[in-house]
Structure 1
Amino acid sequence: MTKREIKHIDKDTLKKWIEDESLTEDLSKKADKIRREVYGNKIFLRGLIEVSNICKNDCYYCGIRKSNRNLNRYRLSKEDILSAADFGYELGFRTFVMQGGEDGFFTRDYMVDVLKAMKKRYPEVAITLSLGERSYEDYKAFYDAGADRYLLREESSNPDHYRKLHPYEMKLKNRQECLYNLKKIGYQVGGGFMVDSPYQNTDDLIEDIRFLERLEPDMVGIGPYLVSHDTPFRDFKDGSFTKTLRLVAILRIVFPYALIPATTALGTVNPRGRELGLKAGANVLMPNLSPQTAKKSYNLYDNKLNTGLEAAEAKKDLEKELASFGYRVVDERGDVTDFGNKN
């Protein structure tokens, strides 16, 4: 594939695919076939560095919301971040993802310094940021300093539903504007949403897909809604694992070119979560390079997977496991198919 192709699926078909449990396996097989046609059996690894669990926002579903007084807060220093990158580079990682809450400590100048230092050490790696909503000027400075990709899940594309998940001061319009700003600057951009978040219905999920069609993202990350007991949504149920698999498959069918992770949330809710996510069309995994103390405290939801094959130290075991499923872990940047390397 040499160009972007987005396959528009009509609403009635999408509704059936999302809701019909019996279609899970068939959709997965269809998506896996498409992914193999575009990317072969390659699985791209991203070394995740969770830089801070301090956040100014108070999203009703999130375990690191600012009102949670039961969380051990932390932030990694520049030296911590670079040390995690050193460790990951030695293991073969060629993409690092710096993810964190919207922590005011990570100013424009601070992040530019970190990015330049990381690129100086490893000019060939791709750097992904996931630090929430920032100004256009911040995004541009980060890009100029070496950031290649940016992940910013919109979580819901229906303004009414978005308001039920977030405090009044947070606006869907602002979030979507950030995504378009990132594209304008030149990032490889990732959006995404939760599956079965509180008050969500099938029409909301279809609107999420429609927004992504308009955005034309390079990456799409989704996962089931998972409960955090330290939030106002503590009494809701976890999202459906099989519905999430169907939506991973749908996203592969709609966006054949995209980079789609089998997320930690999938592995948390089901022991075979990431295996089945890959078989449903995903082609990215994000093992955690964070220090152990950070892994234990970056709890967006309850019972987060942070041991075993989630740990980056187990990369060789992960490679063997994926080989047994017919997939091949590669030590590459893993850019989207038609994206030129700006470096």
Structure 2
Amino acid sequence: MDTKARQLLDKLNTEHSLQTEEYQYLLDHRNQELMDLAAEYARKYQNQHYGNKVFIRGLVEFTNFCRNNCLYCGIRRDNHNCERYRLSADTIVECANEGYALGFRTIVLQGGEDFSYSDEDICDIIRRIKASHEDMVVTLSIGERSKKSYQKYYEAGARRYLLRHETANPELYAKLHPAELSWDNRMECLKNLNEIGYQVGAGFMVESPGQTTYDLAMDLKFVEEFKPDMCGIGPFISHKETPFANSPSGTLETTLFCLSLLRMIYPQVLLPATTALGTIHPKGREMGIKAGANVVMPNLSPTGVRKKYALYDNKICTGEEAAECLGCLGQRMESIGYKIVTDPGNRAGL
């Protein structure tokens, strides 16, 4: 193992902070030995704050319409081969009811930036879910909105909001997104969500097109400073109907290493082992948990639409990542020494 890399990892383990250049050094000198040590340190913090618990979130992907044209995304506006759908309010609420019956106490309503659902529509859905299940935490993941809209959703009963920052480098952000989207506005949205009182989730793509290890180090530093309650990361995976169709996907190894580093940077953070991890490796999510993650998000969407919410190619959307097969997922977690729990799973210390 590179001596300096070992020293930096030990420093991160005790101080939970490095300079951006030091994070880059770790990324540039990653090998299996360094990954194993980082995962060992990460599991120590995971166990300290959460034991062997893995929290479940029921994911409802309620619309794949999106007004945006992000260059990496399969549901981008200009993908005319995408079979579009929108779920009715009744169907969304029914998905939440089914999730509650299965044991879910957190529901994540996720969709493209689809303004055919008005603020009042979103608020009505939130209120209906909370009226039936007071102890269910409603999480939104519907992109950039005004602070006024975020406030309305909060007042209706939403308490968590997931908005990946995608990259901490404004120049790379501009290469991945259309001109009408700005990094500054994404940061403003995250700030607004924090100010309102949401538990906020940020996150980034690993090895997206054009991303350098310094860019990735900037993401680690961003998380260190912003301290989101949750941080969703996953490897970039290309989609055949996007400008990045032929770009290489991100690797399992770098993603796992970043998960371990994030747990060391912010030991209390909620870290999902994402569907993308499970897509690039059949045991990807288990490996993510062993690297420091502690959240999984099975799919509660109606089975008929799951394949249509394709942000990237070959997304797993049947079988053991489905909410109906919670028992299967539980067995997989138990096989590596962890257990699924059904409580809402707040960040440690909240």
- The TM-score bracket by the shorter chain reads over 0.9
Instruction: Give the aligned length.
Output: 335
Q: Is 1:21 equivalent to 2:31 in the alignment?
A: yes
Confirm or deny: 8 A CA contact 1:60 1:166 kept in the other structure.
yes
Amino acid at match of 1:240: T
Q: Decide which moves more: 10-19 or 280-289.
A: 10-19
Q: Counterpart in 1 of 2:11?
A: none
Q: Counterpart in 1 of 2:4?
A: none
Show the 5 A alignment for 1:136-285.
136-285=147-296
Confirm or deny: 8 A CA contact 1:154 1:192 kept in the other structure.
yes
Deviations 1:154-183 (A, max 9, x none): 101111111100111100000010001000
Q: Secondary structure at the match of 2:333?
A: helix
Q: Is 1:82 equivalent to 2:93 in the alignment?
A: yes
Amino acid at match of 2:18: I
Q: Counterpart in 2 of 1:327?
A: 338
- With normalisation by structure 1, the TM-score equals 0.96
Q: Structure 2 regions of 5+ residues with no counterpart?
A: 1-13
Amino acid at match of 1:248: L
Q: Secondary structure at the match of 2:54?
A: strand
Q: Secondary structure at the match of 1:137?
A: helix
Confirm or deny: 8 A CA contact 1:260 1:284 kept in the other structure.
yes
Q: Are the structure 2 counterparts of residues 314 and 282 from structure 1 closer, same or farther at C-alpha, using a change threshold of 3 Å?
A: same
Confirm or deny: 8 A CA contact 1:6 1:256 kept in the other structure.
no
Q: Is 1:133 equivalent to 2:144 in the alignment?
A: yes
Q: Secondary structure at the match of 1:148?
A: strand
Confirm or deny: 8 A CA contact 1:21 1:243 kept in the other structure.
no
1:124 aligned to 119, 135, 155, which one? 135
Q: In angstroms, what is the RMSD of aligned CA positions? A: 1.2
Q: Is 1:7 equivalent to 2:37 in the alignment?
A: no
Q: Secondary structure at the match of 1:310?
A: coil
Separation (CA, whole Å) in 2 of partners of 1:308 and 1:13 = 41
CA positional deviation for 1:29? 1.7
Amino acid at match of 2:25: K
Separation (CA, whole Å) in 2 of partners of 1:24 and 1:321 = 22
Q: Secondary structure at the match of 1:295?
A: helix
- With normalisation by structure 2, the TM-score equals 0.94
2:52 aligned to 41, 50, 57, which one? 41
Separation (CA, whole Å) in 1 of partners of 2:35 and 2:88 = 43
Confirm or deny: 8 A CA contact 1:153 1:191 kept in the other structure.
yes
CA positional deviation for 1:18? 1.9
Confirm or deny: 8 A CA contact 1:226 1:237 kept in the other structure.
yes
CA positional deviation for 1:214? 2.5
Identity between Structure 1 and Structure 2 (%)? 47
